[in-house]
Amino acid sequence: MSIKVGIVGVGFMGWMHWLAWQQVEGAAVTAICSRDEAKRAGDWTSIKGNMGPPGEQVDLSGIKVFESIEALLADGEVDLVDICLPPAMHRAAIVACAEAGKDVLCEKPLALSLEDCDAATAACEQHGVRLFVGQVLPFFLEFDYAIHIVRSGHCGKLLGGNFKRVISDPFWLKEFYNRDKVGGPLLDLHVHDAHLIRVLFGMPKTVYSGGRMRDGVPEYCNSIFTFDDADVSVCCTGGVVNQQGRPFNHAFEIHLEKATLCFEFAAHADEAESIQLKVLCDDGSVLRPKDLGDPDPILGFVREMNEVADSIRSNRDSALLSGALARDAIAICEAEEESLKHGAVVAF
C-alpha cells in the first residue's frame, strides 16, 4: 500500500516533515498546501529552525499545490493529511480532515486547550479516521532507548526521574508568547516532556509548579509531580533563558530499581556538547550504550513517519502518537500553568 501524503503548512515543521517523508518507503508527499505564494512556487529558503538544515529551493514538479486546506481535501487523492500549521489552527484543520474522511498526522501540540483537544479527537472518532500527533521525542535515539529499557522491566520498577528542556528566545518563531496562537514555552516546548512523563508514568495525581511569567504566559517553570504510587517521584524544568549563547538544551535522569539512565545535550552558539547516554547499574558498573544509530535529528522524524505509515497499513492505533496521549500532555501543561499562576498544588 502506497500512502499519499498532503502537507498542510510549509514552515519549519512542514520542512522537517517534508525531509522525513522522502525517506519513508511506501509513502510519498503528493500535495502541499500553503498561503504563501513563494512557498507554493518552491521557494522555501525563508524557513529557519533550531535543528536540521535551513530551508532551500524545492522541486515541486509532480506535486499538487494548493492555497487552502479545503482545496486539498476536495481533490480527494490524499490518504493522510500532515498538519504543520500554527497550533491555534490545529482544531479546525483536524475537524475538516475528519469530515473529509482523511487520516490525520498533526504536529504537536494537538491544540492549545483541552476543549479544542477534545473536539478534535471527538471528530476523528465520529468519522472513523485515525489521528496521530507528532510528539517526536520518543523517536530520538536516547529517548527511544530509555523507553525500551523501562518497558522491558529488566531494570525493575520505575521510581521516577528528572527532565529538562530549556531554550533561548526563539526570535524566529512569531508570536511565541501569544497564549492563543502558539502557546508559549509550556505548550510549544515543555509539552514534549509532559508527553514523555505521561508515556512513562501514566497520568500524575498532583502537580506543583513554580517559576516566572512573561506577558501572562509561563516563561520558565519547575514542576514536581506525585502519582498514586507514593514511591514515584518526578520533577521537570522547562522554559526560556534570555541569553542566546545556548539555543537548546534537553536532558533526563530516569530512576529504576536496578539502574539510573542519564543523558544531556546542549547546543551552544560556538559548539554542541553532549553528555553521552549512560546506564548506572546496581553493581556499581557504568554501561555506555554504543551504536544507538545515526544521531541526525531528521532521522527521528523519519522513525516517527514510519510509525504512522506502519500503523495505517496495519489498521492500528499508535502506542506513542495517539490523540489520547497528546490530549493528556496538554492536560498536564494546563495543570502546571494553573499551579504556577496561583501558587497552589493542582490535582488531576
- Could you report the per-residue pLDDT of 54-111, keeping only the tens digit for each? 999 999 999 999 999 999 999 888 999 999 999 999 999 999 999 999 999 999 999 9
Q: Is residue 314 part of a domain?
A: no
Same-domain pairing of 85 and 144? no
Q: Is residue 319 part of a domain?
A: no
Same-domain pairing of 168 and 294? yes
Q: What CATH number corresponds to the domain at position 50?
A: 3.40.50.720
Percent of the chain residues past pLDDT 70, beyond the cut = 100
> What burial letters (b/e) apply to 109-123, b meaning 16+ CB within 10 Å?
bbbbbeebbbebbeb
Give residue 286's pLDDT band: very low, low, confident or very high (50, 70, 90): very high
List pLDDT tens digits, range 175-229.
Answer: 999 999 999 999 999 999 999 999 999 999 999 999 999 989 999 999 999 999 9
Mean pLDDT of 216-244: 97
Same-domain pairing of 12 and 94? yes
User: Residue 225's domain spans which residues?
Assistant: 137-300+329-347
pLDDT at 50 over 80: no
What's the pLDDT at 1? 65
Same-domain pairing of 239 and 111? no
Write the single-letter amino acid at 290: K
Q: What CATH number corresponds to the domain at position 161?
A: 3.30.360.10
Q: Rounded mean pLDDT of the chain?
A: 96
Instruction: Please tell me the least confidently modeled range out of 119-123, 159-163, 196-200, 267-271.
Output: 267-271
Residues 191, 108 contacting (CB under 8 angstroms): yes
Same-domain pairing of 217 and 341? yes
Number of structural domains found in the chain: 2
Domain boundary among 89, 104, 136: 136
Mean pLDDT of 262-290: 95
Same-domain pairing of 146 and 264? yes
Same-domain pairing of 181 and 65? no
Same-domain pairing of 53 and 194? no
Give residue 169's pLDDT band: very low, low, confident or very high (50, 70, 90): very high
Same-domain pairing of 144 and 235? yes
Q: Is residue 307 part of a domain?
A: no
Provide the grid cell at 145.
532507548
Same-domain pairing of 187 and 277? yes
Same-domain pairing of 151 and 262? yes
Three-state secondary structure readout of the chain: CCEEEEEECCCHHHHHHHHHHCCCCCEEEEEEECCCHHHHCCECCCCCCCCCCCCCECCCCCCEEECCHHHHHHHCCCCEEEECCCHHHHHHHHHHHHHCCCEEEEECCCCCCHHHHHHHHHHHHHHCCCEEEECCHHHCHHHHHHHHHHHHCCCCCEEEEEEEEEEECCCCCCCCCCCCCCCHHHHHHHHHHHHHHHHHHCCCCEEEEEEEEECCEEEEEEEEEECCCCCCEEEEEEEEECCCCCCEEEEEEEEECCEEEEEEEEECCCCEEEEEEEEEECCCCEECCCCCCCCCHHHHHHHHHHHHHHHHHHCCCCCCCEHHHHHHHHHHHHHHHHHHHHCCCEEC
Q: Is residue 312 part of a domain?
A: no
Domain boundary among 84, 102, 136: 136
pLDDT at 51 over 90: no
Q: CA nearest 107: which of 16, 32, 29? A: 16
The total number of residues shown for the chain amounts to 348
Q: Is residue 12 part of a domain?
A: yes
Q: Is residue 316 part of a domain?
A: no
Percent of the chain residues past pLDDT 90, beyond the cut = 93
Domain boundary among 136, 161, 196: 136
Same-domain pairing of 180 and 229? yes
